[in-house]
């Protein structure tokens, strides 16, 4: 209405009446007039809105932007924490492989199984359409790696629990002490490995460990087991053997006296005989062997039960360096 009122008034000269006559606009003219004004108004409005919207964010937009920024930061933090978690898991895997699985003599889990990848490169394709795909894909990948490696690790521990249950029985059978009382280690004569032959003076493989001791010194079974041999054996003199099960056997040579019979069950620390000088021997001593799954092994590897780490180190040194083989 206001528009109408402010509208200019038009006059037309009429030559018949010789006067100016007022002209009133038709309804059509008025309609188009309104339309024109409206169009201009809308155009200006849209223009201003466009400029403003390019310059300033709407409250919803700025809220979304803030939220987006926060989410991105959160993603970065998560990605970092996943990296840390993977490092911790890596440490656990190392310990699992080199310590726990080794203790229980479990088969090693190859790196290719522990850290195997995922098939197909388009696994993360649906994420690639995001505005920041690298961060999201990298984080998702890390999460996938973590869950897969945790699954393998958890299976490994499950297996070790089962092995651990058998371990107590097994640990009683392992030849884990020295075969004679040797607190001050003075009786350690010679260790396992290539040594000079006491008679021929040539290098020869010594398949056991020698303990020098007086004739009659008590000899102990080094683990639970059954006596499988107690008789004269070429070179070893009076010789006794124990089968400990779990692949372990021990042999005691040059004895003066047997104090256990074939077929007898013996416990760790039980007296099975006495030190002597029988067979090929250069003086009273005990020759002691540990046989693991049919092969000779270094007996000193198994003395962990009655030696402190310091004593153990000292014994290894004596056996390695000062050793005089007595055969
Ligand atoms: Zn020997």
Q: What is the pLDDT of residues 221-234, one digit of tens each?
A: 999 999 999 999 99
For residues 146 and 204, what is the distance between their CA atoms, to the nearest angstrom?
52
Coil, strand or helix at 180? coil
For residue 272, the model assigns a pLDDT of 97
pLDDT the model gives residue 87: 94
d(CA 36, CA 19): 32
For ion ligand 1, residues whose CB falls within 5 Å? 208, 210, 287
Task: Tell me the CA–centroid distance for residue 282 and ligand 1, in Å.
Answer: 10
Stated length of the chain: 327
Q: How far is the CA of 311 from the centre of ligand 1 (A)?
A: 21
Query: From CA 74, how far away is CA 76, in angstroms rounded?
Result: 5
Q: Residue 5 C-alpha to ligand 1 middle, in angstroms? A: 129
- In angstroms, the CA 196 to CA 205 distance is 8
Q: What is the CA(267)–ligand 1 centre distance, in A?
A: 24
> What is the reported pLDDT for 120?
56
- Expressed in angstroms and rounded, the spacing between residue 223 Cα and the centre of ligand 1 is 20
Structure tokens at 221: 């079974």
What's the 247 CA to ligand 1 centre distance in angstroms? 22
The predicted pLDDT at position 121 comes to 62
Model-level pTM?
0.53
CA 172 to chain centre: 29
Residue ranges of the chain with per-residue pLDDT less than 50: 1-6
CA of 287 to the centre of ligand 1 (A): 4
> What is the pLDDT at residue 146?
92
Q: Which of 90, 67, 82, 69 is nearest to 139 (CA)?
A: 82
Tell me what pLDDT residue 305 has: 74
How far, in Å, from the CA of 187 to the mean position of ligand 1?
A: 13
What separation in Å is there between the alpha carbon of 16 and the centre of ligand 1? 153
User: How deeply is 111 buried, as exposed, middle or buried, from its count of CB atoms within 10 A (0-12, 13-18, 19+)?
Assistant: exposed
Q: Would you state the pLDDT for residue 211? A: 92
Tell me the CA end-to-end span of the chain in Å, nearest whole number. 128
Distance 232 CA to ligand 1 centre (A): 16
| The pLDDT of residue 132 | 80
Give the separation between CA 296 and CA 285, rounded to whole angstroms.
19
CATH for the stretch 188-322: 2.70.70.10
Domain boundaries, the chain: 11-55, 63-173, 188-322
The strand pair at 271-275 and 237-245 is best described as unpaired
């Amino acid at each position: 209405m206001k528009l109408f009122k402010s509208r200019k008034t038009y006059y037309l000269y009429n030559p018949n009446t010789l006067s100016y006559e007022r002209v009133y606009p038709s309804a059509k003219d008025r309609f188009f007039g309104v339309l024109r004004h409206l169009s201009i108004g809308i155009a200006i409005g849209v223009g201003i809105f466009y400029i403003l919207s390019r310059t300033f964010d709407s409250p919803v937009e700025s809220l979304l932007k803030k939220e987006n920024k926060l989410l991105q930061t959160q993603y970065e933090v998560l990605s970092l924490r996943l990296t840390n978690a993977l490092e911790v898991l890596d440490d656990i895997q190392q310990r699992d492989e080199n310590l726990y699985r080794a203790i229980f003599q479990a088969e090693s889990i190859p790196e290719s199984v522990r850290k195997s990848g995922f098939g197909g490169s388009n696994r993360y394709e649906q994420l690639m359409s995001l505005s920041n795909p690298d961060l999201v894909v990298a984080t998702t990948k890390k999460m996938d790696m973590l869950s897969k490696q945790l699954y393998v690790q958890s299976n490994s521990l499950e297996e070790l629990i089962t092995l651990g249950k058998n371990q107590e029985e097994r640990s009683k059978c392992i030849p884990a002490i020295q075969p004679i009382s040797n607190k001050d280690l003075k009786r350690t004569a010679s260790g396992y490995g290539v040594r000079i032959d006491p008679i021929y003076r040539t290098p020869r493989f010594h398949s056991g460990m020698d303990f020098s001791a007086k004739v009659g010194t008590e000899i102990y079974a080094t683990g639970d087991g059954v006596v499988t041999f107690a008789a004269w054996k070429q070179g070893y003199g009076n010789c006794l053997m124990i089968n400990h099960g779990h692949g372990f056997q021990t042999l005691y040579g040059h004895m003066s006296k047997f104090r256990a019979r074939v077929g007898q069950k013996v416990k760790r620390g039980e007296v099975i005989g006495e030190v002597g000088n029988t067979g090929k021997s250069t003086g009273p001593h005990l020759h002691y062997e540990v046989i693991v799954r049919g092969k000779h092994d270094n007996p000193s590897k198994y003395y962990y039960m009655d030696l402190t780490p310091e004593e153990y180190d000292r014994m290894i040194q004596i056996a390695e360096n000062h050793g005089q083989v007595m055969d």
